[in-house]
Amino acid sequence: MVSGPDKTAAPGSSGITVIVVGLGLGGLTAAIECHRKGHNVIAIDQQKELRPIGDSIGIANNAASIVQRWADGEVDRRLQKVIAHPDIMAIHDSRGELLVNSDLAGYGRGHGYPAHRGDLAMAFYEYAKELGVEFRLGHRVLEYFETETEAGVVLDGERVTADCVVAADGIHSKARGAVLGTDPAPHSSGYAMYRAWFDAADVAADPETRWILAGAEDNDVTQVFLGTDIHVMIGTAKFGKELFWMCTHKDVYDVAESWSFPGDIDAALACIQDWPVAAKLAPILRKTPAGRLIDFKLLWRDPLPTWVSAGGRMMVIGDAAHAFLPTSGQGAAQAMEDAATVAVCLELAGKDNVPLALRTTQALRYRRASLMQQIGFETRNQWHQTDWQAVKRDATLLEMPRPSWVFSHDSQAYAYDEFRKAADAVRRNAEYTPTNIPPVGVLHRTMDFHRDIAQDA
């Protein structure tokens, strides 16, 4: 019996066993959703324990709606205690002059989960443990394999088998090579990003820096400052108790260099030393505790020819399949949509048709994720190569796009509604035309999600 978007299947009822590799937000969502749809799950990560590491991330409305179905809303209620609650993003130029107050419909209060990545991951992990998901932590995958009837991994000499493998092991995915037979090298986007997240007590205690916390006790603050080939974002979380900042800048290292470096605060400040507003920003950035700043490359890959292995029993999702720039605001959300979709497709296809399920998942997801990648590049270019004359005429050009086709999308309902059509196209080796993206010729960067909210109100 099919469970439907809002319901769960009996544990183990599908008879399908899924190995999930990589337990970031996408992998944890895959583990949870596969369990909820009646599949047995073996969740694997190389870390010996999952800890609340990382910094800022935003899960938009389209993915938050997946979480809101968990435990009759209980997980959502838990998250309200740890997420940020901003209403607007104030966008400034490098002089500090306000250009536009962009509302955060789709991201902010009541819609999404802007938060510390680690806080979100731990909430997902705790819920997965409550469900009874089997975790194998502290195991590095040495090998992937598949046959006509199963797929699996080799862990420290142990072969673990299942009906399929869903790999959410990130931009440096090992599974991608197993799926493709080769692993194309990543490209540098030309940019890297300094990132930090820390307690705001020292910022609050200093008269020179506490201005950034003004009003945060009622509504968390998000401020952006734009310059040529650089932008800085500073924000608060938990009603001003914590602070994060990030600085996207030109990448000076070769793509072969390590993808992540300990950050140097003086090097970060040098990026904005010519900005008139630097005198206000620098004291805040200098509050970053030692060891809390990183500088990492923003890498991307050309769209993969496929996310699914030749035998149809291994699949990559999330950053392993489609790396996003932070300016998309959708990297984690699209990984979660992948995860929810594959769980539904496995339920609908059944144990005898696992390869069909994975290939149908790709059909439902591929073009949507690729278009969202494009939006990230477009937004970065709007911010880094700003047409200031156009902005003088219309400052809303700098706002993050909030298309209804992105933020109002229900990936689970879509999978149930479209599975039969997409699966038929897969069987016939025909093209599937998705309806979860705008039709050809229709602008994909719109603000109609904001209008939808006004209409709903």
CATH number, domain of 125, equals 3.50.50.60
Same domain, 178 and 217: no
Based on the domain organization, do 158 and 250 belong to the same domain?
no
Contacts of 263 (CB under 8 A, 6+ apart): 194, 195, 196, 293, 294, 295
Residues designated catalytic? 195
Asked whether residue 311 is assigned to any structural domain, the reply reads: yes
**Would residue 208 count as lying in a domain?**
yes
In a domain, 102, yes or no: no
**How does pLDDT run across 258-284, given as a tens digit for each residue?**
456 788 999 999 999 999 999 999 999
- The model's pTM: 0.90
Domain identity same for 450 and 323: yes
Examine the domain organization and report whether 127 and 37 are in the same domain: yes
Is there a domain that residue 106 lies in? Answer: no
288 lies in the same domain as 381? no
**176 and 191 within one domain:** no
Q: State which of 267, 300, 333 marks the end of a domain.
A: 300
Domain count for the chain: 2
pLDDT of 450 over the 70 cut: no
Q: Kindly state whether residue 12 falls inside one of the protein's structural domains.
A: no
Q: Pairing between strand 187-199 and 242-250? A: antiparallel
Whole-angstrom CA distances from 94 to 104, 195, 327, 361 are: 22, 19, 18, 44
Q: Does residue 240 sit in the same domain as residue 359?
A: no
Angle of helix 354-384 relative to helix 331-349, nearest 10 degrees, comes to 170
Q: Both 343 and 450 in a single domain?
A: yes
The reply to whether 7 falls in a domain is no
Lowest mean pLDDT among 86-100, 161-175, 377-391: 377-391
Average the pLDDT over 202-209 and give the result: 97
Three-state DSSP class for residue 135: strand
Domain boundary among 250, 270, 300: 300
The residue segments making up the domain with residue 411 are 17-85+111-184+302-456
Residues 22 and 119 reside in one and the same domain: yes
Please tell me the distance from the alpha carbon of residue 456 to that of residue 379, in angstroms, as a whole number: 27
pLDDT tens digits for range 332-381: 899 999 999 999 999 999 999 999 999 999 999 999 998 887 776 666 66
In a domain, 126, yes or no: yes
CATH, residue 246: 3.30.9.30
Q: For residue 439, how many other CB atoms are within 10 A of its CB? A: 8
Q: Round the average pLDDT of the chain to a whole number and report it.
A: 88
Are 408 and 448 members of one domain?
A: yes
Mode of pairing for the β-strands spanning 151-155 and 158-162 = antiparallel
Residues 310, 170 share a domain: yes
Paired residues of 249 in beta bridges: 192
In this structure, are 22 and 155 located in the same domain?
yes
Let me know if residue 9 belongs to a domain.
Answer: no
Q: Which of 367, 343, 338, 351 is nearest to 425 (CA)?
A: 367
Of the residues 250, 285, 300, which one is the last residue of a structural domain? Answer: 300
**Cβ pair 14, 35 in contact under 8 A:** no
Question: Above 90 in pLDDT, residue 329?
Answer: no
